[in-house]
Amino acid sequence: MPLDTQLAAVLQGFTAQGEPDYATLDAAQYRLHADNLMPPLPGAQMAEVRDIQVGGAAGLLPARLYRPVDREGLPLLVFFHGGGFVIGNLDTHDNLCRTLALETSAVVVSVAYRLAPEARFPAPPEDCYAATRWLVEHAADLGVDASRLAVAGDSAGGNLAIAVSRLARERQGPAIRHQCLFYPVTDAARDSASYHDFAEGYLLSRAMMGWFWEQYLEHPGQGAEPLASPLRDENLQGLPATTLLTAEYDPLRDEGEAFAERLQAAGVSVRLQRCDGMVHGFISMAPFVEAAARALQAASADIRLALS
């Protein structure tokens, strides 16, 4: 179907700015620009929102806790933001995390893992796994029920959520009931049909993803490692039940759908939804795009059911 009309209006504002010169682009400077593209939005009201610190792989990490109602013993949803492993922060995904907390009836903790290129692979996935373990170990202090645990993330954050699930399987815990993946990065190859069909003009470009991978990996060979490219994992058995959303006009569409198919073949329960008329990043556009809001509600319902 054609681009969603509401989304097209939002997309026009982004594409009018053009793409940077990736040959000379500095990651720190790009963060100053990219992390402020969208103005702060008033999010859903929470009973509690507070910034905390959680244990990472090499020290404490900033995090933000969202409690939708004034009650202890709620399930726990750990969220990892997108941004190509290079950009993004707690503020860029604040509105999304508030909506997830409200719609899932869970305490959401958004983790600010270390970013590349200052902290390259495998630092971000190790941070995210360590933070998840820390949150489970401190569940009583946080007033959450860590026996009802899910992970979620968008784009690179989806990749990191998968990494946490894999590491939890390999390292005997914690037990994760569900993973919710919004248009996840699953393969460093960048050679799928959707990568070529939507190489530019749809918010995320093939060139941009190439730059992100260059910042993230110490050397290109790491792209073959399953922790970096979960689509290349030969063993996906034992991963949590999964909700996976892709966007019709997204370079990452095909690799996300291929990963869902691989999960299903490994016996994992999967709900895959291709969101027609959408582009990469659409889930953060839910305040402006009705179709995105509906997709977010449906994904949240999956998480809520899994944690009930």
* Active site members: 155, 250, 280
| Residue 106 · residue 146 · CB < 8 Å | no
Six-digit token string for 28:
């720190």
Calculate the alpha carbon distances from 3 to 47, 198, 246 in Å: 37, 12, 14
Instruction: Mention every residue, 6+ apart, whose C-beta is less than 8 A from residue 308.
Output: none
Q: Residue 285 carries which DSSP code?
A: G
The amino acid sitting at 72 is E
Sign of torsion over alpha carbons 64, 303, 84, 218: positive
How far is 66 from 51, CA to CA, in rounded Å?
Answer: 9
The amino acid sitting at 64 is R
